[in-house]
Amino acid sequence: MEKITRQIRNNIFDGLRLEKIYYAGELGDVDFLGRLFDLRSIPSYDPRFKTADQDIWQHCENNDDWPMDWVFSDARFNLLNCSDSTYLSFLCETVHPVVRPDVFEASKIVSHYNDQLARAGWRLIESQKIAGRAVFIAQRTTEFHSQIQRASTVAEKLSSNWMQAEITRIQDSIETDPALAIGTAKDLIESCCKSILSQLPNAEPFQKSDDLPTLSKKMCKALALVPEDIPKEAKGAESIKRTLSNLASITKGIAELRGLYGTGHGRDGKHVGLEPRHARLAASCAIAFVDFATETYLQRHKGC
């Protein structure tokens, strides 16, 4: 069953229309569509020609009497009702470096696509680079993507643009550069700790020399999230203490993982990196930590 509805497809095309973005970018209609379809096997609408490549050239390049968005509603390409895979291939091609060499424009378009595709469980992600420019592929969203969205909400609550940048970096590098994602997961926790500590007037100040375990310990102490703060008579005291101890262990584990496999250190020729699944684990743990810490801060110290 196809999931990208006609409404979602229309929304995507309407966004391109509103921004006056030409789908074929630096290429002409024939050259662009020829990358995706066998135009010589598709019939012409113009009786003077036999095939679509001649038809399209006549009306888009020779006479230029078709509107810029004609392909969105052309029944021969059926973009509003074709398979998800065909539709997604079309979208990816519109932001291919050869079609859209402007990195900032391509990024803006991908963001628009992903806002709409999220409702159907799809998103475009970077798969490789050509001359420093991203090539995108379509990927089904996962529970991890939901965690990324949650992390973005957390960063917004803390008004932390730096955390937002780190979250984007994690998202973009999970599949293509696990070492960068692992290193950035450590950075995300560090930024969260510093952001919260800087907003708590009575917290112990952090120092430039503080490592991640030290930073997280200061933050947890300021938020009364250390096991020693739980009274013995509290219901489930031992379970709570054990859980809080594990929370602190997350930061130590990620710091160690970053030291062994993440970015930030040179490697010898025998070094073998980790896989995307390991990076997702590290990122998920980091997000769980910053989520819990931020919710605790907002609940106890909002307005301080």
How many Å apart are CA 170 and CA 285, to the nearest integer?
Answer: 13
How many Å apart are CA 269 and CA 259, to the nearest integer?
Answer: 17
In one letter, which amino acid is 247? L
In one letter, which amino acid is 53? D
- Confidence (pLDDT) at 143: 60
Domain ranges for the chain, please list them: 6-140, 143-301
**Average pLDDT of span 163-179:** 82
Beta bridge partners of 256: none
Dump pLDDT digits (tens) for 39-51: 999 999 999 999 9
- Confidence (pLDDT) at 212: 85
**Average pLDDT of span 200-211:** 86
Q: Which of 92, 98, 96, 83 is nearest to 114 (CA)?
A: 92
- Tell me the H-state helices in 174-265: 178-198, 212-222, 237-261
Give the tokens for residue 237.
């005291």
To 10 degrees, the CA torsion angle through 8, 9, 10, 15? 90
With a cut of 70, say whether residue 231 has pLDDT above it. no
- Tell me the H-state helices in 24-102: 29-34, 52-56, 84-94
How many Å apart are CA 134 and CA 136, to the nearest integer?
Answer: 6
- pLDDT tier at 271 (50, 70, 90 boundaries)? very low
- Cβ neighbours of residue 100 under 8 Å, at least 6 residues apart? 25, 26, 94, 106, 109
Report the half-sphere exposure of 196 (CA within 13 A, side-chain side): 32
Which CATH fold topology does 143-301 show?
Four Helix Bundle (Hemerythrin (Met), subunit A) (1.20.120)
Q: Which of 137, 35, 33, 141 is nearest to 88 (CA)?
A: 137
Neighbours of 179 (CB within 10 A): 20
Residue 283 CA, chain-centre distance (Å), reads: 13
DSSP 128: E
Q: Which of 258, 92, 250 is nearest to 184 (CA)?
A: 258
Give the tokens for residue 11.
């929304």
> Measured at the alpha carbon of residue 124, what is the angle toward residues 181 and 87, in degrees to the nearest 5?
160
68 burial level (CB within 10 Å; 0-12, 13-18, 19+): middle
**Average pLDDT of span 101-110:** 92
How many Å apart are CA 52 and CA 38, to the nearest integer?
Answer: 9
With a cut of 50, say whether residue 232 has pLDDT above it. yes
Dump pLDDT digits (tens) for 49-80: 999 999 999 999 898 889 999 999 999 999 99
Residue 112 three-state SS = helix
Dump pLDDT digits (tens) for 241-259: 666 677 777 777 777 777 6
